[in-house]
A and B are shown apart, each in its own frame.
Chain A
């Protein structure tokens, strides 16, 4: 394995990608936990930060913020619409509310509030959405936020971030806190491995090439970055040299990265644990089709609801694992 191909990854990435216990190692963590830890640190430094919950603070981990800063923590109960509109009200006074719930409820239950009272007036509310994609496996469809990225991308004034691992999730939360305006942060319910080290240059809107390659590019976000890296390693064994881009910011999309990948590698696969329309695949396709038509394939949840099941079984069943990405790369290469 060519370790030189990698950028900003932990030093033992080679061992990690081939390890049997990739998803059960001691340092695996759901990115929601990284959010909960980081917001605690930010709260310490910035008294304007307040955390709003809707009766899932224990599931997300923001109950720790509530314990430490009871005055700056507000649990609205099972009342997401009230919570998001109240967050807008707080933001008008200069507070920086982080309103936390599951992705389905953040992006759909309260969507009218999120659109009309947060994004339209461009208020400085941070929407911290856990259980994105089909990551809350066993709970089933009502709790699987498989559309959140597509929905949030369609709203004007939105910034949409879906970090890949605990390290970049923490960086994303910090960047969101510093950013002026609404930010949607999309986290996983299930544990994912730590991929990156602290050298990772996180900037909103700047995708990061985390593995160099010249034959094709996989552009991925959230929990499919790790699957893409596994796919790239397997393809390397077949003498296919694949670039992997962690496109943590879905919006604004890093158009320049997309066009560079098209020019330098000539074939693109997108990978997202989200419905395969309206999200990352669509965003990349839109850039390519208007500027530089390039052979492309999209990995994502097809036009279907999923079901209950363990996370890893479920993403495999619904076509989101490394083996599906490998097949997609092989197909797209034929069209080069």
Chain B
């Protein structure tokens, strides 16, 4: 397996994000099911983490000193699988097996099947608590790894998210960063129609977190924000990232139905065209 040159420049990160977006479309189309919308909204963040920020070694996925990553909104695992494959954790040929019987790539991520998956997820509202546990363990064992957790805005309706938020502040977990993929949509509808959770920045500040708002699709903003989160001392950081569900595929953007629906071949080809054209123009 070839491993890309890391850490990548912002320009290379943008190209990699486009490649990962294409992988997502291809995977979900081939599987005939899956969650493209929330995968595409998290793509730029996940790309920046895996190809610039995180201290990881694809040839040693269980390295004790590695940074940890948890995709708490586990349904968006196509983005995680694509990033791991592109980073060299496993062969890209697996991407075509998503959701098939016997595949390592389950409908929701399984840490015992896939190299590089640090935590099994899929039931929403667990990941941040798991991250708290990993961060506490890091402090206890005097390890300097960082724990990164991506959560959804719909997911933030789970009470457990706020239980995790409280505990991370109590223990001053500055080795923990949450990134909130604020794409304004969940399964049924728009978040603010279904169960309003704003103002999120105020809520997180009230819970004692170092709270930073960013554009979750602007690499020039994402990279320094992640670096700042890692450097911040005394409290956990949350990056509230404004994103677009379905980002990069015009017919999916902000359309609720693409939460959990696969494109047919013709739709997928149109999506791939668009993503490639857009990345060439950059």
Chain A residues close to B by CB (< 8 Å): 53, 55-59, 63, 75-79, 81-82, 104-105, 109, 138-143, 307-310, 313-314, 317
Contact = CB atoms under 8 A, between A and B. Distances in A.
Interface string B258-282: 0010000000000000000000000
Contact of A140 (B108, B154, B194, B195): B108
A308 B100 contact: yes
A55 B154 contact: yes
Contact of B195 (A75, A139, A141, A142): A75
Contacts of A104: 123
A229 to B, nearest CB: 25
Given A140-B110, A141-B110, A308-B99, 9 more contacts: A58-B187, A76-B157, A77-B154, A78-B154, A79-B158, A79-B159, A81-B159, A138-B31, A140-B99
B33 to A, nearest CB: 5
20 contacts: A55-B194, A57-B188, A75-B188, A75-B195, A77-B154, A78-B125, A78-B186, A79-B158, A79-B195, A81-B159, A104-B123, A109-B123, A138-B107, A140-B110, A140-B122, A142-B74, A142-B120, A307-B101, A308-B105, A309-B100
Interface in B153-169: 154-155, 157-159
Contacts of A82: 159
A143 B122 contact: yes
A78 B108 CA distance: 17
Contact of A139 (B107, B157, B158): B107
Contacts of A307: 101-103, 106
A140 B107 contact: yes
Contacts of A139: 107-108, 122
B124 interface: yes
B108 A141 contact: yes
The 6 A-B residue pairs with the shortest CB-CB distance in the complex, in nearest-first order: A142-B122, A77-B195, A309-B101, A140-B107, A77-B157, A140-B106
A309 B99 contact: yes
Interface string B51-90: 0000000000000000000000010000000000000000
A77 B108 contact: no
Contact of B101 (A59, A81, A308): A308
Nearest to B35: A139
A75 to B, nearest CB: 5
B129 interface: no
Contacts of A309: 99-102
A22 B80 CA distance: 37
B188 A58 contact: yes
Contact of A310 (B101, B108, B124, B186): B101
